[in-house]
Amino acid sequence: MSKKHKFNKSWLHDHINDPYVKMAQAQGYRARAAFKLKEIDEQDKLIKPGMTIVDLGSAPGSWSQVVREKLAGPGGQINGRIIAMDILPMAEIAGVTFLQGDFREDSVLEQLNEMVGGEKVDLVLSDMAPNLSGVGVADAARMEHICELALEFAQMHLKPNGALLVKAFHGSGYSQIVQQFKAQFAVVAPRKPKASRDKSAETFILGRHLKRYESA
């Protein structure tokens, strides 16, 4: 049996027996990632009715599902606005505006900027990650680039007291991403939810309150 085949079999075994996978299926979420956002939101109270929220790297849509739940009123009507974007297609979620495209392309960014319009955003979420090559330095550079794009978008569109939550990977380039956050946000904190697998280098970085407004 090849090493790759063994790895795939091991991953599949872990995935099938993963309690968060089972919970996601039972509760109607499209992916176990829903519980990462739910846990962070419970700690940091990021999502509130009336907000405008942008979900970058949204497919298959579990984070948008969580946001929708949080913004829904008693009758199920959404109090707020959700704009989602991904390079991959995403099945429709009622009340979520979806844009398919590559966030790294200027034309797609322009479309997203137009969708947001002149309105300032309360929260930008990014569960985006590059396709990993296994070459550490190259993967770190790709991840850093994606985080930088999310940070630039947040700088352009966030309200003064808004927040940005991005996925990052511990290792090469991580400290540089944190430093970039600290240069822009008054409050910066790492988050490692229980739903994020222990073996994974995945960490989330949360930035709140843009500094440029504080010094204005």
φ, ψ at 57 (rounded to 5°): 70, 45
- Domain presence at residue 136: yes
Q: Per-residue pLDDT tens for 118-129?
A: 789 999 999 998
Answer yes or no: is pLDDT of 62 > 70: yes
- Domain presence at residue 120: yes
Q: Per-residue pLDDT tens for 43-55?
A: 999 999 999 999 9
- Domain presence at residue 99: yes
By residue range, what is the domain housing residue 140?
Answer: 30-214
- CATH code of 133's domain: 3.40.50.150
Answer yes or no: is pLDDT of 11 > 70: no
- Domain presence at residue 75: yes
Mean pLDDT of 74-100: 94
> How far is Cα 191 from Cα 123, in angstroms, rounded to an integer?
16
| Percent over 70 (pLDDT), the chain | 91
**Is 63 annotated for ligand binding?**
yes
- Domain presence at residue 98: yes
Pairing of strands 52-56, 158-169: unpaired
**Is 11 annotated for ligand binding?**
no
- Domain presence at residue 93: yes
**Number of domains within the chain:** 1
- Domain presence at residue 23: no
Contact 24, 57 (CB under 8 A): no
Listed range (17-26, 41-50, 181-190) with the worst mean pLDDT:
17-26
Per-residue pLDDT at 15 = 60
**Is 127 annotated for ligand binding?**
yes
Mean pLDDT of 191-215: 88
- Domain presence at residue 25: no
Residue 194 catalytic? no
Cβ of 46: how many Cβ atoms within 10 Å?
22
Q: Which residue has the higher pLDDT, 49 or 137?
A: 49
Per-residue pLDDT at 18 = 85
Per-residue pLDDT at 146 = 92
Active-site residue, from 167, 182, 192, 211: 167
- Quick one: tokens of 204? 């989330």
Mean pLDDT of 156-164: 95
Contact 213, 178 (CB under 8 A): no
Per-residue pLDDT at 117 = 83
Q: Per-residue pLDDT tens for 105-114?
A: 889 988 988 8
